[in-house]
Amino acid sequence: MARNVALAQRLAREAAWAPIAVVVLHAIAGALFGHEPYVDPVSHFLGGAAMAFFVQRACEWGPEVIGKTTLLGRNAFAFTSTCTAATFWEFGEFVRDRLLDSNVQLSLANTMRDLLLGCAGALVYLAVRGRR
C-alpha cells in the first residue's frame, strides 16, 4: 500500500504537472486574450501532448499495476487514453453548456477541431518523444 502511495506521489510530481499546466495556462491566456481563435486550439493541441506524456510516464512507472509493456504498447495506450480524455473533455463542455446555459461549444466544427487537435498533439508528442 505504501509503495502504491509513493508511486502515485511520484507520478503526480513528475508527470501530472504537464496537463495541469495546460489547464492553468488556458485559463490565464483565455482571460487575457479570449479563448478564440488562438488560445483554445493551442490549448487542445498542448493538452493532447501533455496527456500523452502523462499516460506514457504512468505506464513506465507502473509495471506492477498494468504489467510489463512494450514501447508500442505504451505508445498505443498513451494515444488511445489521450483520445478518450479529449472525448470526455468535450462531453464535459456539452454538459456544462446544457446545465449552465453557456456556449463553450460554439459549433460541431469547433468540437471536432478540438478533438482533432487533442489527438494530433498526442501523435506529435509520441512521434517526437515516444521512443523511450
Q: Mind listing the pLDDT tens digit for each residue in 70-108? A: 888 889 999 999 999 999 999 998 998 889 887 777 788
Are the CB atoms for 59 and 66 separated by under 8 Å?
A: yes
d(CA 114, CA 80): 16
Give the global pTM: 0.84
Q: How much is the pLDDT for 103? A: 74
Give yes or no for residue 2 having a pLDDT over 70.
no
Per residue in 106-124, pLDDT (tens digit) is 788 889 999 999 999 999 9
Return the domain boundaries, the chain: 2-129
* Cα 105 → chain centroid: 18
CB atoms within 10 A of CB 56: 25
Q: How much is the pLDDT for 63? A: 66
Q: How much is the pLDDT for 129? A: 87
**Average pLDDT for the chain:** 86
Q: How much is the pLDDT for 67? A: 72
Q: Which three cell numbers stand for residue 112?
A: 471536432
